[in-house]
Chains A and B, each alone.
Chain A
Amino acid sequence: MLPQVRGLLWALVLAVVVLLAAAPARADVDSDFATQLHGYGIYGPRDYNAWLGKITCKRLATRLDRNAFDSAKFLSTNLPRGTTTQQAWQFLDAALATYCPEQLSVISAVATH
């Protein structure tokens, strides 16, 4: 075999090995969140929804939003027109569970009303 051809074959083998060794891409938190939202029929840009989820957490942490009703109102304003009240609450629940589980109690707090 010609040395050039042998070199080429080795390069090919190496490339295949490298490709196989590369770990499969792992879904990140934002993607998992997006997948969960899709289950509720909430679509829209993944990054925007992730921002919205994190900002919802921050607004609770800073006490700008005093309770889950404030959060749901904030989300209804900023989710696409046509989003139902139920979807806004589903978004809220998913966002808190994903980005600030320590805030999840605000939802159970209004459930007892």
Chain B
Amino acid sequence: MLRTVSTLVRTSIALGACVVAAVMWCGPAGADSTDDYPIPKRIWQTSCDAEQVLAAVRDTSPVYYERYMIDKSNRPADVQQAAVDRINWFFSLTPAARRAYSEEVATNIYGEPMAQRWGNWAKAFFNNKGVAARATDVCLNYPRGDMSVWDWPVR
């Protein structure tokens, strides 16, 4: 009887030690960026500006663009304007700085203040590799800084 109890205690201690070891071994949840996440490579490498990319998305991923514009239209005017300004700021950065920004937003949930006001504020630009690839293929064919691409009637 005594022997059984002592075996039980010993097994429990060993098991407990295993659990502690396992917990210590797995580090903090990592969320490092990669060259394609959270911002696709094509987007941080392109020489197009925000309006050229958006115009290309409108023509090559129309449903994606439509949904983004509907989402945008449901935000307060100041949030919409802030998103436009912010994405223009992003595309004014060098590719290296954009890559660093991608790392920043991947690792710091407060790294992008816009995200607190509108979670999908840059969805048409950042969220989908296929959309980014199709858009960056042709974006240079569109005029730079054509702000009319932000005006789109939604019903």
Interfacial residues, chain A to chain B (CB-CB below 8 A): 48, 51-52, 55, 58, 61-62, 74, 77-78
- Top 3 closest A-B pairs, CB basis? A51-B63, A55-B62, A78-B62
Chain A residues touching B, majority SS: helix
Question: B62: which of A51, A61, A62 is its contact (CB, 8 Å)?
Answer: A51
Contact call A62/B153, Cβ cutoff below 8 A: yes
Inter-subunit contact B153/A52 (CB<8 Å):
no
Beyond A51-B66, A61-B153, 5 extra complex contacts between A and B, CB < 8 Å: A52-B63, A55-B63, A58-B153, A62-B153, A78-B60
Could you name 20 residue pairs across A and B whose Cβ atoms are closer than 8 Å? A48-B63, A51-B62, A51-B63, A51-B66, A52-B62, A52-B63, A55-B62, A55-B63, A55-B66, A58-B153, A61-B153, A62-B152, A62-B153, A74-B59, A74-B62, A77-B59, A77-B60, A78-B60, A78-B61, A78-B62
Identify which of B62, B66, B152, B153 gathers the most chain A CB atoms within 10 Å of its CB.
B62
> How many angstroms from the CA of A3 to the CA of B140 in the assembled complex?
79
For residue B60, which residues in chain A have a CB less than 8 angstroms away from its CB? 77-78
Chain B residues in 8 Å Cβ range of A74? 59, 62
Q: How far is the CB of A31 from chain B (nearest CB, A)?
A: 18
Name A75's closest neighbour in chain B (CB-CB): B62
